[in-house]
Chains A and B, each alone.
Chain A
């Protein structure tokens, strides 16, 4: 029933952070990794995940640009994005939201809190789906 698992793409240039994300999420979700923004977009387009987690500071293409690109692309625009950032500053968080991200998680993160955040987003998506369906029925 591997297919039932929700798919998440995680991108970070730090191998150990990437592995930590993978190890945190892989029990409940199907996790695909990428080491920069550009790679993340390619993977997302291929995998069509339910959620994308992007580190902000990455070589090649950073998380903010990747997020913007994903949201601009019709194919991926509805996929929720969590930005992962080492910067806790408000201006950076604001930047994150401007880029269209749905949530942010500050590094270093607690795996439990990350999972909570992920589940929260999935719930929101579910609710939205229901509302849409209800509207259709009505």
Chain B
């Protein structure tokens, strides 16, 4: 129990603590059982006990002039021991005063003994036939209640009053002591509660609010708040504020040293200000902004490891009055709990932040991983190469779209199935096992039937190496190289054919030139040999010309035309002369229109066209026969036709013969040399002349190539 709080005599307001209920009970008993009316009045008038009987008594007393006078009591004149005893009829009036804890109490005692006797006197007077007034006067002169007896009773009553008042004081003292104890218990339990809260919640704001509310409750404060120091700006800000103005308050910041809170934060010392109006440190700014009137304050520092991090303040004792010094200690204890709470919360906040960050990182990583996984998945799925992966137990773990197609499987069902269920070719299965065992890559080629066509795939098998550097399975990638193979085949065939085609004219050239040099040949033979050499040189030149043209067309440079006026009959005759003796087995027939026409063409290019068509006609009619060259004109066009009686072209190949490098796939044709570039060049040259070419052919009967060139007269522009 705090001694400070023990009620001092001087501070006791006896009128306040007087147990009026007990005294009124006593008054009632006196009045009812003994007919004694009592009234107690404190000199300040705060206590005024008046029993109803006393009122009757008072009424009777004041019904006469004399009685009235008696009642005009000047309390100032009632001394401690002064007593007035007045007898009026059967009424006794006694007045005494007593002091208690410096306060004067006046006690009035009245006895109305003979009210019933008064009526009896009246009746007696009537019966006896005597004058009532005379009889009453005689009766009144009789002393019925001795002064001594009355004084004794009055003294008893004064004593009783003193006892009651003493008891009241004792009761108050006991009550106050109990109250102290209760407050102490409330504070202890508030502190306990605070420490429990600190360990139960990590929400700092909520936690501080709960602590402050319990402080308010225990300390009977109107509002409270917690400030924290913003060390960067050297300011204080409201972390928690209770009360209706919380939102406004929270926007306010105090400079270090400003106001009571600023002062406490600055000095680190607790402060009790009973009346802020008397304290120059008080900052009115906050009250003005919040329209709150601060009267008294307790403010204590919030310290974490001896460092002031903020302050806690409690404002205005409810019902007025000031806070006591003991409450500083309580608030300090509470503040240290709050400091722990803040430290814990910061710690947890850090931990939570870290955990949250980690969680976020993990989520991001997972998300990235799944995005990556999806991306890889879609890459694998959209690959044009087949992918098939197995684990170390040779169960399929991954099959992509193309692999599903070449192995004729459904992806959903393939995964998890044993490899031999899906891959029927034993050698392929063995490759999966081999690379897993030797941890190195193996390459092979494999053929798959797809639709009605056989496809060639290049297959690469690789072990899947896990993070422990162990083989977790193997993966195979199959690439369709059918087209590449075809192109490759075409390329080597083309090179072979070119080589053959070049060597063919070279052979007679070399043979005859050597024969001419080494042997003594007669003039006739020289002429024959030279003629052959000349022809074969031209043939070689034409072939090289074709190859160059092709490479120009291939490189996108195209061919340019050197247009000149050409008599078409003359041109055809020249071509005919070159070819008429080319073969002993063929008969070359030339049919020209009677009237020739001169049109603008590139002479050499048209010779190239005719040479190619005629060479083909000769080549592809190995059994000989007629080769017919025919030309004619109509209004707009020049027409040329070369017709043979040779092998002919199968229908399915007709559309392809103008494709570059295309050669008909037949045993007969293969044995006939050819590069597959002649017809594409023919078509190209004719299209350059705005003309076109068509082929008519019957297999094993022969072919006819018919072309046309628009007639452009020498004055006209080719494109005009």
- Interface positions, chain A 88-102, Cβ under 8 Å from B, are 88-89
Do the beta carbons of A108 and B511 come within 8 Å of each other?
yes
Interface of A is mostly: loop
For residue B656, CB closer than 8 A to chain A, the reply is no
For residue A20, CB closer than 8 A to chain B, the reply is yes
> Given known contacts A15-B582, A20-B508, is B671 in contact with A108 (CB within 8 Å)?
no
> Given known contacts A15-B583, A58-B671, A59-B672, is B622 in contact with A109 (CB within 8 Å)?
no
> Which residues of the other chain, B, contact A110 by a CB distance below 8 angstroms?
510-511, 514
> Given known contacts A24-B515, A60-B671, A111-B514, is B504 in contact with A86 (CB within 8 Å)?
yes
- Residues 510-537 of B, flagged 1 when their CB comes within 8 A of A and 0 if not, give 1110110011000001000100100110
* Contact partner, A23, options B507, B515, B672, B673, Cβ 8 Å: B515
Do the beta carbons of A111 and B507 come within 8 Å of each other?
no
Give me the interface of A with B, judged by CB distance under 8 Å.
13-17, 19-21, 23-24, 27, 35-36, 57-62, 86-89, 107-112
Do the beta carbons of A59 and B671 come within 8 Å of each other?
yes
Do the beta carbons of B496 and A87 come within 8 Å of each other?
yes
For residue B26, CB closer than 8 A to chain A, the reply is no
Across the interface, name the chain A residue whose C-beta is closest to B492.
A89
Measured between alpha carbons, how far is A21 from B506 in the docked complex, in Å? 13
* Contact partner, A57, options B509, B515, B671, Cβ 8 Å: B671
Task: For residue B500, give the distance in angstroms from its CB to the closest CB of chain A.
Answer: 4
> Which residues of the other chain, B, contact A109 by a CB distance below 8 angstroms?
507, 510-511
> Which of B503, B529, B536 is the most central at the interface, judged by chain A CB atoms within 10 Å of its CB?
B503
Measured between alpha carbons, how far is A23 from B505 in the docked complex, in Å? 16
A-B contacts besides A20-B532, A23-B512, A57-B673, 5 pairs, CB < 8 Å: A14-B504, A17-B511, A86-B507, A107-B503, A111-B515
Across the interface, name the chain A residue whose C-beta is closest to B502.
A86
Across the interface, name the chain B residue whose C-beta is closest to A88.
B499
- Interface positions, chain B 211-240, Cβ under 8 Å from A, are none
For residue B584, CB closer than 8 A to chain A, the reply is yes
> Given known contacts A87-B496, A107-B504, is B514 in contact with A16 (CB within 8 Å)?
no
- Interface positions, chain B 532-579, Cβ under 8 Å from A, are 532, 535-536
Task: For residue A63, give the distance in angstroms from its CB to the closest CB of chain B.
Answer: 9
* Contact partner, A16, options B500, B535, B585, Cβ 8 Å: B535
- Residues 644-686 of B, flagged 1 when their CB comes within 8 A of A and 0 if not, give 0000000000000000000000001001110000000000000
Do the beta carbons of A86 and B671 come within 8 Å of each other?
no
Give me the interface of B with A, judged by CB distance under 8 Å.
496, 499-500, 503-512, 514-515, 518-519, 525, 529, 532, 535-536, 582-585, 622, 668, 671-673
Measured between alpha carbons, how far is A23 from B510 in the docked complex, in Å? 13
Across the interface, name the chain A residue whose C-beta is closest to B512.
A20
Measured between alpha carbons, how far is A59 from B535 in the docked complex, in Å? 22
> Which residues of the other chain, B, contact A112 by a CB distance below 8 angstroms?
514, 518
> Given known contacts A13-B622, A107-B506, is B515 in contact with A86 (CB within 8 Å)?
no
Measured between alpha carbons, how far is A21 from B508 in the docked complex, in Å? 8
* Contact partner, B507, options A17, A27, A35, A88, Cβ 8 Å: A17
Measured between alpha carbons, how far is A112 from B515 in the docked complex, in Å? 8
> Which residues of the other chain, A, contact B504 by a CB distance below 8 angstroms?
14, 17, 86, 107
Measured between alpha carbons, how far is A88 from B506 in the docked complex, in Å? 14
Task: For residue B489, give the distance in angstroms from its CB to the closest CB of chain A.
Answer: 14
Measured between alpha carbons, how far is A58 from B499 in the docked complex, in Å? 15
Across the interface, name the chain B residue whose C-beta is closest to A20.
B511
> Which of B508, B512, B622 is the most central at the interface, judged by chain A CB atoms within 10 Å of its CB?
B508
> Which residues of the other chain, B, contact A61 by a CB distance below 8 angstroms?
671
The 7 closest A-B pairs by CB, nearest first: A59-B622, A20-B511, A86-B503, A16-B508, A108-B510, A108-B507, A86-B500
> Which residues of the other chain, A, contact B500 by a CB distance below 8 angstroms?
57, 86-87
> Which residues of the other chain, B, contact A35 by a CB distance below 8 angstroms?
585, 622
Task: For residue A81, give the distance in angstroms from its CB to the closest CB of chain B.
Answer: 18
Across the interface, name the chain B residue whose C-beta is closest to A84.
B507
> Which residues of the other chain, A, contact B496 by a CB distance below 8 angstroms?
87, 89
> Which residues of the other chain, A, contact B514 by a CB distance below 8 angstroms?
110-112
Across the interface, name the chain B residue whose C-beta is closest to A59.
B622
Across the interface, name the chain B residue whose C-beta is closest to A89.
B496
Task: For residue A42, give the distance in angstroms from its CB to the closest CB of chain B.
Answer: 14
Across the interface, name the chain A residue whose C-beta is closest to B646.
A59
Measured between alpha carbons, how far is A13 from B586 in the docked complex, in Å? 13
> Which residues of the other chain, A, contact B525 by a CB distance below 8 angstroms?
23
Measured between alpha carbons, how far is A20 from B531 in the docked complex, in Å? 12
Measured between alpha carbons, how far is A36 from B672 in the docked complex, in Å? 11
